[in-house]
Amino acid sequence: MSLYYESAALIKTLDGSQDTSLKSLLFSKAKPGSDAPRKSNPAQLYALITEAWKWSSLLTEVVERAGLLAQEKKLTPQLALVLVHDLLLAKKGIAAPENHVLRQAVERHQTRIRAEFTKARVRAGCASVEELKGRLDRPNTEAEAAIESIQNANRKWPHPRWLRINTLRAAQDFLEGDEFRKWKPVGSLGEVLSSEGSPAETGRIVYYIDEHIPNLLALPPGTDLSMISAYKKGELISQDKASCFPAYLLSSGRFLQGDILDACAAPGNKTSHIAAIVFEQNRHASSQSSIPRVFAVERDVQRANTLREMLGIAGANHVKVHASQDFLKLDVNQAPWNNISAVILDPSCSGSGIVDRGQVMTFKLPSVAAASSTNGNGKSKKRKRYEKKNVPETVTDDKQDGVLVKEQDVEVNEDNAIKLETRLKSLAVLQTRMLTFAFSFPNVHKVTYSTCSVHDIENEGVVVAALASQVARSRGWRVMKRDEQVPGIRLWKHRGKEAACQLAIAAHGIVDANTDEVAEACVRCEPFTDEGTQGFFVAGFVRDGKKNDQPEEVSNGDIDEERWLGFED
């Protein structure tokens, strides 16, 4: 049964993470949440998790309609997903003894589960499970298919493999080592992106030293990192270029002074990056006590364990991890938080800038609450994604690119747009709350805010909303101007949207804001370009003087669960 327990733990760690991949977790020796070695075969874990991911929306519907979680308290949503997957779809069923408690917990409800699965198949208009499987492999709506088509058309350039030289482990003459004598440096990113053939075929790895971020290398797309010994030793860390911007931007100025906090730290790439920067800046420090400490906060226990594991691989064990700690519930006037001087804030977001959404494993998981919305006849009050709306298939006079549009499709698209707008507003409210809370720390004088979103409301909108807050205005917070930024980011050409800044400034009634200055202070990375980055946004903030030594009381309200439905780090 270790297969199911370990799969469930991995799913909890993976769900929505943009930096932590299933393969990288399987490559590590320890299982999530423990230093103990993994018992299950990695190939079996990979197969079960990827299949459960693909089927998660439909299986979640089945589990909720069957009321499984409400009746079996010992089952978590993740366990229910993988167990029901094998009950319904594995050739030999659940891989556990007949008397095992988890197998019994599922199989005592198998009649209802199988019936709900059959109903789901019929609602999808599929005559067989094989046909249903084929349906799941295709986009679920015409709108999704159109979006996918547009994204494919925009992929003019492949995405490189970015590797950060980890100075916590790598020697200063790292690129002069034996392994890298076999590598071939090139003069542009374009040469890397257009490189054909694997190292096995060409005899050497082609790489490019990035011009904006120190210690960052670009390798050809599809490079097998498991064949690079420096990667396995933690001397190289897989981290997208855009993801390196926040820590590097925080290092603006001659030195970082005072302790540093990564507020939403898991899985830990930004944390280990800022730890490496601190190490570099203090390599020759005469006293250890003068070196800034790095703290990392993570609310979720499983993600905190992943954070510790990744920091261990990076050689950043000195980072002080606070697990099960919500950033918004920190007492900023108590040690160690009252000595924090800089904050990295990369909260949950929509994840709309991620280049390959297929690589981000976001699971639809069952819940007891959803099951309670099912009536006594097993019919859900909520419309599921596999059900067709009861809308007449009349055709309107409206056309999109010369194609007649059905009324039901218009309604579906309108519903999706409304849901997206509502979700983005919820995320932006929480993001602003977290940013203004970072402003309230008594000794913090520098903050970076970042998202992997392309939506204005999560980016320039949050920046302006935070600047308009009482805590920002009373304590002297402003944007870090472009000419104050580190050289590499100062030279980066993609800046914030002036129109978005102007709209937000007008909406908040800020009369003394310089729209151009705010837009120029914001940094954007665009996906699907020859620069090889994810879609990303980052802005720096600095505090001038001490307008108010006493931090403003920041109302956090209830912790919105929307925070944990977005993409993190």
**What torsion, rounded to 10 degrees, do the Cα atoms 451, 478, 327, 32 define?**
30
- The overall average pLDDT reported for the chain is 81
Provide the percentage of residues in the chain whose pLDDT is more than 70: 76
pLDDT of residue 21: 63
Q: Which of 40-54, 252-266, 339-353, 373-387 has the lowest mean pLDDT?
A: 373-387
Identify the residue whose tokens are 């914001």.
522
pLDDT at 284: 78
The per-residue pLDDT for 395 is 35
Strongest mean pLDDT among 80-89, 172-181, 377-386: 80-89
Q: Is the pLDDT of residue 317 over 80?
A: yes
pLDDT tens track for 217-242: 999 987 888 788 899 899 999 999 99
Residue 264, marked binder: yes
DSSP string spanning 428-459? HHHHHHHHHHHHTSTT--EEEEEES---GGGT
Rounded distance, CA 269 to CA 116, Å?
A: 42
Band (pLDDT 50/70/90 cuts) for residue 207 is: very high
User: How confident is the model over 272-286, as a mean pLDDT?
Assistant: 90
Q: Which of 180, 201, 182, 184 is nearest to 192 (CA)?
A: 184
Beta bridge partners of 321: 296
Range with lowest mean pLDDT among 1-15, 359-373, 422-436: 359-373
Q: Are 408 and 391 in contact (CB under 8 A)?
A: yes
Beta bridge pairs of residue 568 = 17
- Cite the DSSP H helix spans in 300-406: 301-314, 368-371
Interval 499-515: pLDDT, tens: 999 999 999 999 889 99
Per-residue pLDDT tens digits for 540-558: 999 986 555 555 555 554 4
Assess whether pLDDT exceeds 90 at residue 298.
yes
Q: List the one residue out of 19, 12, 49 whose CA is nearest residue 354.
A: 19
Q: What does the pLDDT average to over 428-447?
A: 97
**Given pLDDT bands bounded at 50, 70 and 90, which one contains residue 28?**
low
Does 401 belong to an annotated binding site?
A: no
Q: According to the annotation, is 498 in a ligand binding site? A: no
C-alpha angle 408/414/416, rounded to 5°? 105
Q: Which two tokens stand for residue 396?
A: 């309107």
Predicted pLDDT at 202: 53
Three-point CA angle 220, 166, 256, nearest 5°: 125
pLDDT score for 548:
53
Tell whether residue 265 is among the known ligand binding residues. yes
Q: How far from 321 is each of 228, 301, 330, 522, CA to CA, in Å?
A: 29, 11, 14, 29
Domain 258-346+435-565, CATH among 3.40.50.150, 3.40.50.720, 3.30.310.50, 1.10.20.10: 3.40.50.150
Catalogue the active-site residues: 452
Count of positions (residues) in the chain: 569
Residue 257: pLDDT band with limits 50, 70, 90? confident
- Asked whether the CA dihedral 132, 138, 144, 145 is positive or negative, the reply is negative
**Strand 294-298 vs strand 320-323: parallel, antiparallel, or unpaired?**
parallel
Tokens coding 25: 């977790």
Q: Which of 371, 395, 362, 397 is nearest to 564 (CA)?
A: 362
Q: How far, in Å, CA of 105 to CA of 19, rounded?
A: 34
What's the angle, vertex CA 29, arms to CA 26 and CA 34, rounded to 5?
Answer: 100
Provide the residue ranges of all domains of the chain, joining segments of one domain with +: 2-138, 161-238, 258-346+435-565
Give the whole-angstrom CA distance, residue 448 versus residue 539: 6
Query: Which one has a higher pLDDT value, 444 or 39?
Result: 444
How far, rounded to the nearest angstrom, does the alpha carbon of residue 76 sit from its chain's CA centroid? 22
267 annotated to a ligand binding site? yes
Q: Is the pLDDT of residue 456 over 90?
A: yes
Q: What does DSSP say about strands 446-451 and 477-479: parallel, antiparallel, or unpaired?
A: unpaired
For 321-378, the pLDDT digits (tens) are 999 999 999 999 999 999 999 999 999 898 888 765 445 567 788 887 655 555 444 4
- pLDDT at residue 199 tops 80: no
The answer to whether 444 and 509 are in contact (CB under 8 A) is no
Within 13 Å of residue 554, how many CA atoms lie on the same side as its CB? 30
pLDDT in tens, 467-487: 999 999 999 999 999 999 999
Cβ atoms < 10 Å from Cβ of 54? 15
Burial class (CB in 10 A: 0-12, 13-18, 19+), 112: middle
Q: How far apart are CA 124 and CA 122, in angstroms?
A: 5
pLDDT tens-digit map of 513-526: 999 999 999 999 99
How far is it between the farthest Cα atoms of the chain? 78
The helix or strand, by DSSP H or E, that contains position 341, with its residue range, turns out to be strand 340-345
Please state, as a whole number, how many other Cβ atoms lie within 10 Å of the Cβ of residue 530.
11
Instruction: State yes or no: pLDDT of 303 exceeds 60.
Output: yes
Say how far apart CA 145 and CA 358 lie, in whole Å: 14
How far is Cα 151 from Cα 208, in angstroms, rounded to an integer?
26
CA distance 3 to 83: 10
Helix segments in 282-401, DSSP class H: 301-314, 368-371
The reported pTM is 0.68
Is the pLDDT reported for residue 205 higher than 60? yes
Average pLDDT (284-307) is 86
Burial of 491 (0-12, 13-18, 19+ CB in 10 A): exposed
Instruction: Tell the CATH topology of 161-238.
Output: Alpha-Beta Plaits (3.30.70)
Task: Give residue 195's pLDDT band: very low, low, confident or very high (50, 70, 90).
Answer: confident
- Report whether 346 belongs to an annotated binding site: yes
Q: Is the dihedral of CA 464, 466, 470, 473 positive or negative?
A: negative
pLDDT exceeds cutoff 60 at 403: no
